[in-house]
């Protein structure tokens, strides 16, 4: 997980990252890949998107003071997906 790319917030504890894409096709491809990761991990972060941006919020488990390692691993997977996506659009 690229610490610098994610904002760590409290009340409730969560990680947030906003990603920008070249066009809607790249946004859709990323969301499609994210769906696969969510299903594999059985965890579904809150996702907001428009034509060329996606914002992801990974919440800590209910009542937890901070985001646990398993969900931080999802943040790492998001970083990897996004890096691949950027490689594809450059």
Separation between Cα atoms, residue 42 and residue 51, nearest integer Å? 26
C-beta separation of 18 from 78 below 8 A: no
Where does residue 44 fall: left (phi above 0), alpha (psi -120 to 50 degrees), or beta otherwise? beta
DSSP letter at 22 equals: S
Among 2, 9, 40, 46, binds its own copies (CB under 8 A): 46
Neighbours of 75 (CB within 10 A): 21
What kind and span of H or E run contains 20?
A: strand 14-20
Task: Number of residues interacting with its own copies: please give it, by CB under 8 A.
Answer: 14
Asked whether position 11 contacts its own copies by CB under 8 A, the answer is no
- Per CB under 8 A, the segment of 5-13, 41-49, 62-70, 77-85 that binds its own copies is 41-49
Closest separation in Å from C-beta 77 to its own copies: 17
Asked whether position 75 contacts its own copies by CB under 8 A, the answer is no
Among 38, 41, 77, 86, binds its own copies (CB under 8 A): 38
Q: Where along the sequence are the contacts to its own copies (CB under 8 A)? A: 24, 28, 31, 35, 38-39, 44-51
């Amino acid at each position: 997980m690229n610490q610098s790319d994610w904002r760590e917030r409290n009340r409730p504890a969560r990680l947030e990252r906003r990603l920008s894409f070249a066009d809607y096709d790249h946004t859709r491809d990323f969301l499609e890949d994210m769906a696969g990761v969510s299903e594999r991990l059985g965890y579904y972060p809150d996702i907001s998107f428009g034509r060329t941006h996606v914002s992801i919020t990974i919440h800590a488990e209910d009542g937890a003071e901070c985001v646990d390692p398993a969900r931080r691993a999802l943040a790492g997977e998001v970083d990897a997906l996004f890096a691949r996506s950027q490689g594809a659009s450059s």
